[in-house]
Structure 1
Amino acid sequence: MSAIMHTAENTTIAASVETGKSESVMKNAAASATVVEKPKFKGSKFSLRPFFLAVLPPIFGLIFLILVWEIISVKNSGIPSPAVTLKSAMELFADPFYSNGPNDQGIGWNILASLQRVGVGFGLAALVGIPLGFMIGRFKFLSGMFNPIISLLKPVSPLAWLPIGLLVFKAADPAAIWSIFICSIWPMIINTAVGVQRVPQDYMNVAKVLNLSEWKIVTKILFPSVLPYMLTGVRLAIGTAWLVIVAAEMLTGGVGIGFWVWDEWNNLNVAHIIIAIVVIGIVGLVLEQILVGIARIFTYEDVKN
């Protein structure tokens, strides 16, 4: 009997030990689970990789451009080095709005004069080109009528229109504006017309069922759908207009960044010509970015990208 009790007692002790071990294992597992399942907060990992990818490539690109420029200036003594050009730029922009007569004005006045011509010519092109693009895209008869004319005149160089402007307007300033107008109008017409033609036919069928007027079709259906295409045409037009004004002003003279470049070439001031090239590029980039910002405001998310 005592042996049986002793065996039972040993069994109980063994069971207790096993139970203790099980409880210890369970506690350790729970602790491990607690450690593993710690909440991970978003943004806890800070990485500089996106910053470097956004900043370093443009910096390396500029460094590469300056190195190439420096090598060219060493090989060709007629090309000023980046350091010499930077010194000239600092002197030039120390007083960009001086005026010593109609043919001797600061670079600031020349840029403003060019922007004014671009604004007038570009604005007139938008007033004519965008409505005409809507009509060409909306009506097949007008599309068949104007497509051959656009295909014929669009490839013509804008400067080829400059003599026509001089002949008609008898003055250099309107002739330059005319050249900007004629080169800016084609991208607006074509992109707007393409946008109208790509409006889903289901939208137009709904408009017929609802018996909407032509004005409501344009304002409620066509305009929101065509807006991304129209803004693309506007961006292309402003870039072309800024390119044309420089060449037109070289030929027509007067105050303007193009005439300023030509005048500096006559003075053999190559450093100022390089400065003008950089300024023309910066102004063109700013104009494009302004239109890109407007496009992002007024277009859908899939068009923004």
Structure 2
Amino acid sequence: MKKLLNLQTYLPLLFGIGSAVILIGAWWGISVLTNSEIPSPLMTWAVFNEMLATPFYDYGPNDKGIGNQLVSSLIRVFSGFGLGSLVAIPLGLLIGSSKTAFRLINPIIQILRPVSPLAWFPLGLLAFKAAEGATIFIIFVTSLWPTLINTAFGVASIPQDHKNVAKAYGFSRWKYITKVIIPFALPHIITGLRLSIGVAWMVIVAGEMLSGGVGIGFFVWDSWNALSLEKILSAILIIGTVGLLLDKGFDWLQKRFAFA
């Protein structure tokens, strides 16, 4: 029993190590096949260590440490994601609880949702007259759809029995929202938020490549201009790791509020 318990305890760690071995092995193989045109893990690791040695240096607008770049990107991501959530959750509650609202708004959602994030960038520049505002704008627009759709689905899935009980007890509209709609839809809302933060984190890289200045996306583009593939690969690893941590955070929230 103890052996089984110990195995189950360390199983996630073993799978994580196995995944890392597969990734590094595939990476090393690609490096060999391309005659090191794609830097090997060891070559990238050496540059990565140099980047981490002084992550928060600031020598001017276009010369900042990777820590500063990452913090700037995270601020933009959470700004756009937060604004998108403030719009998506109330609108999703409305669409999910009203067939009339669904019929009016759903066609708009289906038209706007597939639009590429980069297509919104010129409109953001026009509206905010600055690349910073435009970048947050495209994150806002593209990250709100998963939360909106999942929230609406959660509200629309409330069983009729729940609605009948609320009517029998004479719940006011506010009490119905707070005691029935939100508790039932909360797992779906968190699922939407989890998907939205993933979208926001993907969009930030493309947005910062266009906007320039500072940020992890700009760092990738600047490294490409400097022909430093090691820095690009290091940035990709950082982007992936941060994305994983964000996803795990919302996964924890999802399990925390999941129905038993």
Structure 2-normalised TM-score? 0.95
Q: Which amino acid aligns with 1:62?
A: A
1:209 aligned residue? 168
C-alpha deviation, 1:51, in angstroms: 4.9
Amino acid in structure 2 at the alignment position of 1:183: T
| Secondary structure in 2 matching 1:46 | helix
1:46 aligns with 2:3: yes
Match of 2:32 in 1: 74
Q: What SS does structure 2 have at the residue aligned with 1:168? A: helix
3-state DSSP of counterpart to 2:3: coil
1:140 Cα deviation from its structure 2 partner: 1.2
Deviations 1:66-122 (A, max 9, x none): 222222222323211111111111111000000000110000000000000011101
Task: Pick from 139, 162, 174 the counterpart of residue 98 of structure 2.
Answer: 139
1:61 maps onto 2:19 in alignment: yes
Q: Deviations over 1:211-252 (max 9, x none)?
A: 211100000011110001000000000000000000000011
What is the RMSD of the two structures over their aligned residues, measured on CA atoms?
1.4
Residues in 1 aligned to 2:10 and 2:186: alpha-carbon distance in whole angstroms: 35
- Partner-residue secondary structure (3-state), 2:81: helix
Number of matched residues? 258
Choose which of 145, 151, 155 in structure 1 pairs with 2:114. 155
Superposed, which structure 2 residues align to 1:122-201 within 5 Å?
122-201=81-160
Deviation (angstroms), 1:52: 5.8
What's 1:259 paired with?
218
Task: Name the CA distance, whole Å, in 2 between partners of 1:112 and 1:166.
Answer: 22
| Change in CA separation of 1:56 and 1:212 when aligned onto 2, cut-off 3 Å | closer
Partner of 1:119: 78
Whole-Å Cα distance in 2 between the matches of residues 66 and 51 of structure 1?
25
User: For residues 168 and 10 of structure 2, what CA distance do their matches in structure 1 show?
Assistant: 56
- Which consecutive residues of structure 1, in runs of 5 or more, have no partner in the other structure? 1-42
Q: Measure how far apart 1:56 and its partner are.
A: 3.0
Alignment of 1:74-93 (within 5 A): 74-76=32-34, 77-93=36-52
Bigger relative contact order (CA 8 A; separation at least 6): 2
* Higher Rg: 1
CA displacement, residues 167-200 of structure 1 (integer Å, 9 cap, x when unaligned)? 1111100000000000111111111111111001
Partners of 2:161 and 2:51 in 1: how far apart?
Answer: 59
- Whether 1:97 aligns to 2:56 is yes
Q: Unaligned stretches of 5+ in structure 2? A: none
**TM-score (normalizing by structure 1):** 0.81
SS in 2 for 1:98: coil
Q: Which runs of 4+ in 1 moved over 4 A?
A: none
